[in-house]
Amino acid sequence: MQISSDDVKRLAELSRLAFNEEEIAQMQENLVDMIQYADRVNATACDMQAKEHILPLHNVFREDVVQESLSNDEALKNAPESEEMYFKVPQVMEDE
């Protein structure tokens, strides 16, 4: 499995991470190593139906009952920035 520096850049973009050229080269090398290792999963001729969960549980529900929410103060307590009762984030370009 080959990983190009463009692949690394694309994965970085999807992950919202930035790397400089040196880091990209390093990351490329790391990923090649890791993927080579990961390739071992293909060593089994396993056509078993993959289960999403190893637990034998299903249908875990909550009843439709309203429970107490946080206060606005609590909600905003850890916000890097807030205004009035809102969280504040940098300008979102609606038509990015």
Residues 20-79 that bind another protein (CB under 8 A): 27, 30-31, 33-44, 46-55, 57-72, 74-79
State yes or no: residue 17 binds another protein (CB under 8 A).
Answer: yes
Dihedral sign for Cα 13, 14, 17, 19, please: negative
Instruction: Report, in Å, the least distance between residue 80 CB and another protein.
Output: 4
Q: How far is CA 46 from the centre of its chain?
A: 27
How many Å is the maximal CA-CA distance in the chain?
59
Among 4, 16, 21, 22, binds another protein (CB under 8 A): 16
